[in-house]
């Protein structure tokens, strides 16, 4: 019985993760889902996602065929390493981490609270442009996250 309950809960989480948000928030601003779609479209990302540090996907704009939940959950697991390294270096919180693979680039940026932005782009992407995009959009996303 507990197995079927766990399966139902897992399915409910997947359904909730795939629900699109309304395009305009109460205050008249653009909703998080639309901001992520814009990031994905303008910077050629395969994934733009907000994810809790516990690995649960909050909102995502993703290319077909990419498992947004798995990628985002694995990407934020690196936040613990970032925090530990920051403490060792007597630094404040890290602003972002960039991981390069042969075919992909993953950028993880903590947004305050327990939420991070995860971007996955082609390995040929302009890294400076991606970092600039995060710097520009961070205040807007942080405000949206604070309102959640």
Would you state the structure tokens that stand for residue 63, as one six-digit string?
Answer: 């290319």
pLDDT by residue (tens digit) across 76-120? 888 888 888 899 999 988 888 889 999 999 999 999 878 999 999
pLDDT at 25 over 50: no
Phi and psi (nearest 5°) for 13? Answer: -65, -40
Q: What is the pLDDT of residue 8?
A: 46
Q: In which element (H, E) is residue 130 found?
A: helix 127-147
pTM for this model (two decimals): 0.76
Q: Which residues pair with 121 in a beta bridge?
A: 45, 105
């Amino acid at each position: 019985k507990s197995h079927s309950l766990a399966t139902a809960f897992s399915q409910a989480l997947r359904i909730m993760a795939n629900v699109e948000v309304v395009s305009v928030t109460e205050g008249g601003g653009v909703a998080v889902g639309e901001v992520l779609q814009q990031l994905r479209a303008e910077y050629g990302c395969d994934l733009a996602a907000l994810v809790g540090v516990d690995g649960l996907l909050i909102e995502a704009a993703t290319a077909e065929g990419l498992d947004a939940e798995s990628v985002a959950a694995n990407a934020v697991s690196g936040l613990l390493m970032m925090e530990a390294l920051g403490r060792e270096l007597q630094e404040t919180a890290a602003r972002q981490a960039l991981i390069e693979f042969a075919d992909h680039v993953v950028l993880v940026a903590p947004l305050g609270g327990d939420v991070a932005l995860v971007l996955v782009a082609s390995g040929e992407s302009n890294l400076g442009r991606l970092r600039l995009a995060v710097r520009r959009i961070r205040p807007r996303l942080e405000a949206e996250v604070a309102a959640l």
